[in-house]
Chain A
Amino acid sequence: MLTEALTLQLGYNATLVALGAMFLGVAAGVTGTFLFLRKRALVSDAISHATLPGVGLAFMIMVAFGGDGRNLLGLLLGSALSASFGLLCIGWLTRRTRLAEDAAIGAVLSVFFGFGIVLLTIIQTMRVGQQAGLEGFLLGSTAGMLWNDAVIIAVGGALTLAVVIALRRPMTLVAFDPEYAAARGLNVARVDLAIMGLAMAVTVVGLKIVGLILIVAMLIIPPVAARFWSERTDHVALIAGGIGGASAYIGAGLSAVAPALPTGPIIVLVSFATFLISLLLAPGRGVLAAVLRHRRFQRRVHIRQGLLALAQGQPIYERYTLRLLQRAGLVEADGVATETGRARAAKALRDEARWALVRSDQALEGAAALYDGLRDLETVLTMDQITEIDRRIGAPQGVAL
């Protein structure tokens, strides 16, 4: 069943929904990257919660004019309008009052959502309201989706993605370095507005699939996961798009197989799993890589200190140092230095002396700044400079053994 769902063999609607979800996931991942890099990830939380009153009002207006209140296009239009109003409120509260952005986000989020709930309870008491199914917008449901709705989602997802691709360069520039972007003549405020607009488009299109409480996860989790894998903005955006698309596709597929499973939570949990994998395993920024790096550093410090102790004839008490030296073939089991050990120890002591000279010489200030007790002098100075230093130190000193 699952393979059929993932290879798009579960009927026309399920296929459309899965493809639409995938477009949406890619668009959400890429848009979210720019939000994340602008450090405004949680604005999307306010956007998504602020859609609820729009959904309710749109339903009531459509019913009042004698139409079918469940028309998805009308509901999405209403949600977009109220989300824009919510965004305006956040901007106004942050600019015109002393409140910080996080307080503005929280206030808009809770008040709009509360008002939306009031509207939902009114709708429930309306004669046509019982079967409105607007609760589906809270957590998302693709079960029993109409053909028209599926088309709207697929087209909306594809359109959003197209706009993201078209605007990727100015958005990258602004996310990476807003001052430089402004100097290049870019209207930073307008690009920010475009990012917000795209986030809103993603939210609105995703309402029906993921639901408004969890759509924010599609905008936040994939970029955060992608950030572990690269230091380049365009790569992060691409990876985030990939993660978002794959999670949404798998989530929609799973939910097509088991209609009892709500789509939104599955999509969120799949992308959270990729986040966990990234957090642990990513090279460079991942936890495992950091641990390995730390261990390697520790080993280098121990060996270096051990060699210096050997060179100066001091006993080594630290077991770990001894074990490392022994494993590297630098000391025997009884702690006596081997031939290579003695050579390396003499070299280490000599390097210390050279470094001491480098650090006391004003002319070599640049090189001295790189001293960290581990760095090989050869990587900092040329052979000629080292020979010159050696000449100033004098003949090789005897190594105590």
Chain B
Amino acid sequence: MMGEEFVSLSLTPLLIGVFAAIACALPGNFLLLRRQALIGDAISHVVLPGIVVAFLVTGYVSAWPMMLGAAAASLLAVGLIELIKRLGRIEPGAAMGVTFTAMFAGGVLLLEQTDTSAVHLDVEHALYGNLESLIWLDATGWRSVLDPQALAGVPDELPRIFLTLLAVIAFMRLFWRPLKIATFDTGFAQSVGARPTAMGLALVVVAAVAAVAAFDAVGSIIVIAMFICPPAAARLMTNRLERQITWSVVFATVSAVLGYVLAGYGPLWLGADHAVSAAGMIATVSGIILAMAALCAPQRMRSGAPAN
């Protein structure tokens, strides 16, 4: 399992899965605390029309236009949700539901109406991603990791998601204090000039960027699961934000690694001869972690509630 085959077949998907999981879990912590957990759900739905429109405009499947289209679609969705909320005086959940279902339906319809049979673009792919297919053909063993020629053959998704992860980390480092203040005490944040509204918008944008980059590699299921499950499980572990974020990174990594391994090798151990969906398995593992945290994590109760 750790031999040459591992490097060429499993190392890159594994790394991509881990990076994608962490990139989504980090902003997910703040979204969870701000009661905006379902923004991740909305974003991961509206990414589809963005990608389809980008494909229709450019005419071919390539990563950057599609990521731009997806990012534009997420921003449009956030704007629309806000607009519907304000103009119609509709509660946020319903405004979100109206927006993302309509945009997703539009994306599906566009996709069905255009001839995409020649390219790898369909709804199922958007949902499950194709983590298993992101293999590194040029690798011949662990030595390839240091071989520039072999490294040139690494699937594009890996550097892309890695850069995104770095950008997310940089954002959180740079704006750590205003983010924290804006999340816990909007009024105070306003009074010390931390611009809570701008911070909230920036957070959504960063979440959208992470979602789009992860979506490109692993599909929307992981995106939603990683936005919510690791931060939620981490929230049950501690009362300190710093520790919560550390826990969420640990949980995201464990979900990605364990999920990938279980999906790839689990069925073989059980005697079946086909792997199952890695994206689905990663989401499942993150759910199991959350369930375990909800059952026995130290801070699972609301503070002040009787611990019966």
Contact = CB atoms under 8 A, between A and B. Distances in A.
Interface of A: 36, 39-42, 44-45, 92-93, 96-100, 102-103, 105-107, 109-118, 120-122, 125, 135, 138-139, 213-214, 216-217, 220-221, 223-224, 227-228, 260-262, 264-266, 268-269, 272, 275, 279, 285, 287, 290
B94 A41 contact: yes
B38 A220 contact: no
B224 A265 contact: no
Contacts of A107: 225, 228-229, 232, 287, 290
Interface stretch (B67-75, B83-91, B154-162): B83-91
Nearest to A225: B98
Given A220-B101, A224-B90, A287-B87, A103 B283 contact: no
B88 A121 contact: no
Nearest to B284: A115
Interface stretch (B133-141, B169-177, B298-306): B298-306
Interface of B: 32, 35-38, 40-41, 45, 84, 87-91, 93-98, 101-102, 104-106, 108-109, 112-113, 123-124, 127-128, 221-222, 224-225, 227-229, 232, 235-236, 263, 267, 272-277, 279-284, 286-287, 290, 294, 299-303, 305
Given A106-B227, A111-B287, A224-B97, 6 more contacts: A99-B236, A110-B228, A114-B287, A116-B280, A221-B97, A269-B105
Contacts of A93: 294
B284 A122 contact: no
A118 B280 contact: yes
Contacts of A264: 105, 108
Nearest to B274: A125
A98 B90 contact: no
A100 B299 CA distance: 14
Return the 7 tightest CB-CB contacts between A and B, nearest first.
A114-B283, A111-B287, A117-B280, A217-B101, A268-B105, A110-B225, A220-B97
B102 A42 contact: no
A98 B301 contact: yes
Given A106-B228, A107-B232, A221-B102, A269 B109 contact: yes
A360 B232 CA distance: 58
Contacts of A122: 267, 272, 274, 276
Nearest to A272: B102
Given A41-B91, A107-B228, A117-B280, A216 B235 contact: no
B281 to A, nearest CB: 5
Nearest to A290: B87
